[in-house]
Amino acid sequence: MMDKSSINTYFHSLFDIKKEIVENITETFNSFELKANEVLLNRGEISTKTFFLEKGYVRSFILNEDNEEITTNIYAAPCFVNDFLSFFRQQPAKETYQTITACSFWETGLENVQHNFHNIPEFREFSRLLFVLNYYSIHDRLIEMASQKASTRYFNLMKKHPDIFKFVPLKIIASYLGIKDSSLSRIRRQPNKI
């Protein structure tokens, strides 16, 4: 049996749930690995699997009108990574999901998720909680982008996720913060005011 302790621990960290139920939920999950800069899900593709990121960093990005890559999110393990709308509604993904570092994943298909959803009440509760947390995270980011200066966003990110700066290229972090690389370099030279 493969070691699913990290994914099982993640379920327990969000929700008070029995060990046997978690093992039942994760029974259909299979592991795989990707190297850095490999695509997990392409824009325009329909997501047929959901992914749990056990180790590493992943980003989602879009192309703007000038054909530049704009990072929309950075995912740090452990967490679920997916275009949930594409997965649950079986419609084309609007973003590309790509590894930043070498990554370890667990994956399972839509049928397994639907089966768990209809047959395991605790999984329904976990899924609801996961959606609320994802919504909160996206909403929070929207407010930050609209209300904070780039330097404030940078120092907040540094405070919340200092490890990101060890593993994620500054170009991707700058794009995620909605600024140019040169602006990020300038901000990084400022004393930390937070």
pLDDT digits 0-9 by tens, 22-51:
988 998 999 999 999 999 999 999 999 999
Question: Would you say residue 131 lies in a domain?
Answer: no
Residues 105 and 33: beta-carbon distance below 8 Å: yes
Instruction: Give the pLDDT band of residue 193 (cuts 50, 70, 90).
Output: low
Question: Would you say residue 128 lies in a domain?
Answer: no
State how many domains the chain has: 1
Question: Would you say residue 133 lies in a domain?
Answer: no
pLDDT digits 0-9 by tens, 107-163:
999 999 999 999 999 998 888 888 898 899 889 999 999 999 999 999 999 999 999
**Average pLDDT over all residues of the chain:** 91
Domain interval for residue 16: 5-119
Where is average pLDDT lowest: 2-11, 23-32, 49-58?
2-11
Question: Would you say residue 41 lies in a domain?
Answer: yes
pLDDT at 4: 86
pLDDT at 39: 97
ω into residue 78 within 30 of 0, thus cis?
yes
pLDDT at 194: 47
Question: Would you say residue 189 lies in a domain?
Answer: no
| CATH number of domain containing 70 | 2.60.120.10
Residue 175: pLDDT above 50? yes
Question: Would you say residue 165 lies in a domain?
Answer: no
Taking CB atoms within 8 Å and a gap of at least 24, the contacts of 165-171 are 167/57, 167/100, 167/101, 168/57, 168/59, 168/74, 168/100, 168/101, 169/100
Closest CA to 84 of 125, 44, 49: 49
pLDDT at 79: 93
Which tokens belong to 3? 């070691």
pLDDT at 48: 94
Question: Would you say residue 62 lies in a domain?
Answer: yes
Question: Would you say residue 154 lies in a domain?
Answer: no
